[in-house]
Amino acid sequence: MHKIIEKEILNSVVEKIVVEAPFVARKCEPGQFVIIRVEEDGERIPLTIADYNREDKTVTLIYQVVGYTTKLLSEKNKGDFISDVAGPLGKATKLEKKNRVLGIAGGVGAAPLYPQIRKLNELGVKTDIIIGGRSKENIILEDEFRKISENIYFATNDGSEGTKGFVTDVLNELIKNGEKYDEIITIGPVIMMKAVVEITKKLNIPTSVSLNPIMIDGTGMCGGCRVKIGEETKFACVDGPDFDGFLVDFDGLMRKQTMFKEEEQEKDHKCKIGLD
């Protein structure tokens, strides 16, 4: 059992918890994730490690309340326990000393981006950040990023914070104004990462993306997280989740996501009419 040490409501659909997980906290690095079970007989879900404290033996998890298990997790409060926190899983992000790096996050993608930018900051790398969301409410970790980055920019669909539009609008403006970056790290919805890569690939700016397709066991056994990287088939849970954005088959990944959503909708329909 793992005790919830802290809990914070970040907005109407996103929450943050700090959980006791000594074995994970001892070994985890930016880019890795855990698989949790809220209850002993519950569903397994992957969550990115948004932060960790080796001394306190804790990890920070940020999640969006969208399904049954995250709703169940949302009902937990400070002092409560969750059944399992398995990890760290996946490969740690390869972060090296560079002159300047741009991080681009969409929605809860800010959570896995944060530990990477913090590590770069510790290496002495100058970083800028673009955070996108539907509205100002959907912008998370602004204060945390301000402490470790030189510049922070925002893009919201409704214009309630920063540029009205998309993160790519801000990216294009920065490039137009002569900003130079050695690398770009982008994490968020697949369609957003694809759009960023379409820009950076033309400019030959190395771009890392983080992929989070359907994962069941986190060890590559189920095969649900297969992704095509260049001419190879990789498993996001053991070979990633970070990959070279120039090599990712985004169209194939989006088709796979659509198929899964259709299957879930069909399953829900059958349940409602008593066929499953």
Binding residues for FAD: 62-64
Q: How far apart are CA 76 and CA 110, in angstroms?
A: 23
Q: Which residues contact 213 (CB under 8 A, 6 or more apart)?
A: 224, 225, 226, 227, 236, 253, 256, 257
Report in angstroms the alpha-carbon separations of 49 from 115, 165, 206, 259: 8, 29, 24, 27
> Cβ–Cβ contacts within 10 Å for residue 122, how many?
10
Q: Where is the binding site, in residues? A: 62-64, 222, 225, 237
Assigned token pair, 87: 């990890």
Q: How far apart are CA 240 and CA 248, in angstroms?
A: 12
Assigned token pair, 247: 């090599």
β-strand 84-89 against 33-37: which pairing, if any?
antiparallel
Q: How far apart are CA 19 and CA 61, in angstroms?
A: 8
User: Reduced to 3 states, what is the DSSP secondary structure of residue 53?
Assistant: strand
Q: Where is the binding site for [2Fe-2S] cluster, in residues? A: 222, 225, 237
Closest CA to 100 of 18, 210, 206: 206
Closest CA to 224 of 91, 70, 234, 266: 234
